[in-house]
Structure 1
Amino acid sequence: MSSRLAAYRPPNTTLPSLVRRADVGAAAWHALLRDEVLRPLWGDVGLVADLDDTPALRSAALADLVPRRGVVGRCSAAWVHTGRRPPARVDVLVASRSHRADPDPRRTAAEATLPADDVERIGPLKVTTVQRTGTDVARWVPAAHAPLVLVDLCAVGFDPHRALRDLDAMPGQRGVRAARDVLRAL
């Protein structure tokens, strides 16, 4: 094409990968879902239909609910890592003895001791590593649901034997005995 016509070409626009319902309004949101331009990712966040969801995009979908000092953990972190079993609410972990996240019906908050080796950045958020996520799921998720999540995590690198060894460093802490039972059964 001639360079003389370059001034008349429309500018290139970059479309977002994720769309939040609040950004487009309810009518447009439902139309985009109906017309399969978007597909639901999590809550009121949709993913452009021709894109694959990735851990970074799943993390970005949760970003509005995670404060800067927070870390995505437990079942929410498992979903970020695996893309399986989206959580009903975002599990946010904050450092022990620090201010918890403000209440929100779409979020749960808990205190946790998180060494730097147990946290990684995925997309815009800090998320517990696959190994720490699995150990926490075994400790904190009800025994009827935990094995399903742990099997998903095994597919992305969770090591149940290492988790059992990690639990040895937590004698007497809450959920350790139940976690051992879940991990042994796995």
Structure 2
Amino acid sequence: MPVTRDPHPGPTLTEWLRQPCADAGPLPGVVRPADVGGAVAFQVLLREGALRPVRDGVAVPRSRPVDRTVRATTLADLVLPGTVLGGEAAAWVHAGGGAPRHVELVAPAAAHLPVSGEDRSVRRALLLGNEHVLLGGIRVTSVLRTALDVATAPGRGPAAPGHGSRGGPGPARPSDAEVERAAALVVRLCRVCDLDVSGVRRALELRPRWHGRRTARRVLEAASAARPAPGPALA
């Protein structure tokens, strides 16, 4: 029996993904290889410009802007229940840049500490109510809290039970390279999110029990030297 072809076929997947949002109707959220028939098809759609890469193995339709909600959504499968995305991964969500290969999760001080894995680590820390926000269906540390955590991270080493920015031992003395890298990330957060480095320094001094204060001061001093222009403080 001959196959009857539709005389007015709809757009191909590539054509549909390329359409402007206003004309395409509902678009899918994040797209993974399994959503489009496998890794080969995924790479073809990337090469043809139908998909915009967000991080390894995750993309969005080319017509969809990549903002912090989209970036958070691409990490949702790595965030464990009851935890908050923090550290460099949170900085990437807020300010973009290079996508993280490893994510840091923060568990409330009183909660059971989930087991870390190859692609994620979990540490325990106290988070105030205004120190995390809901983005893309997951909790992410606020911009200010993220800047504080990034400034404290050099020399801290792998996350471990009881090891957090509040409670537990402070970090070892970091190298100059670690400090410079953290300072550059703080500067990016401040530039993209209209945060003032001096505001981050004030927030640090208002936390008398903050562990790793010496490291954070060193990082923020380097960040201040790299970005002297003030901007509005952000809580």
Query: How far off is 1:56 after superposition?
Result: 0.6
Q: Which runs of 5+ in 2 are unaligned?
A: 1-9, 11-23, 155-177, 224-235
Contact 1:39 1:48 in 2 (8 A): yes
Query: How far off is 1:18 after superposition?
Result: 1.3
**Equivalent-residue separation in structure 2 for 1:182 and 1:86 (angstroms):** 22
**Equivalent-residue separation in structure 1 for 2:116 and 2:152 (angstroms):** 23
Alignment of 1:66-145 (within 5 A): 66-141=79-154, 142-145=178-181
Which residue identity is paired with 2:179?
Answer: A
**Equivalent-residue separation in structure 1 for 2:59 and 2:28 (angstroms):** 10
What TM-score comes out, normalization by structure 2 length?
0.68
Q: Which runs of 5+ in 1 are unaligned?
A: 1-9
Contact 1:79 1:87 in 2 (8 A): yes
2:183 to 124, 147, 168: 147
What TM-score comes out, normalization by structure 1 length?
0.85
**Partner SS state of residue 107, structure 2:** strand
Contact 1:130 1:157 in 2 (8 A): no
More strand by share: 1
Q: Percent identity?
A: 35
Contact 2:85 2:104 in 1 (8 A): yes
Post-superposition Cα deviations, 1:108-157, rounded to whole Å, max 9, x if no partner, equal 22111100111111221111111111011100143131111111111213
Matched, 1:16 2:28: yes
Which residue identity is paired with 1:14?
Answer: P
Contact 1:41 1:58 in 2 (8 A): yes
Post-superposition Cα deviations, 1:156-180, rounded to whole Å, max 9, x if no partner, equal 1323222222222444643210110
**Partner SS state of residue 97, structure 2:** coil
Matched, 1:183 2:220: yes
Post-superposition Cα deviations, 1:76-99, rounded to whole Å, max 9, x if no partner, equal 111111112321212211112422
When residues 124 and 172 of structure 1 are mapped into structure 2, their CA distance, relative to the original with a 3 A threshold, is: closer
Matched, 1:161 2:198: yes
**The structure with more radius of gyration:** 2
Which residue identity is paired with 1:45?
Answer: V
**Equivalent-residue separation in structure 2 for 1:21 and 1:157 (angstroms):** 35
**Equivalent-residue separation in structure 2 for 1:51 and 1:78 (angstroms):** 21
When residues 23 and 101 of structure 1 are mapped into structure 2, their CA distance, relative to the original with a 3 A threshold, is: farther
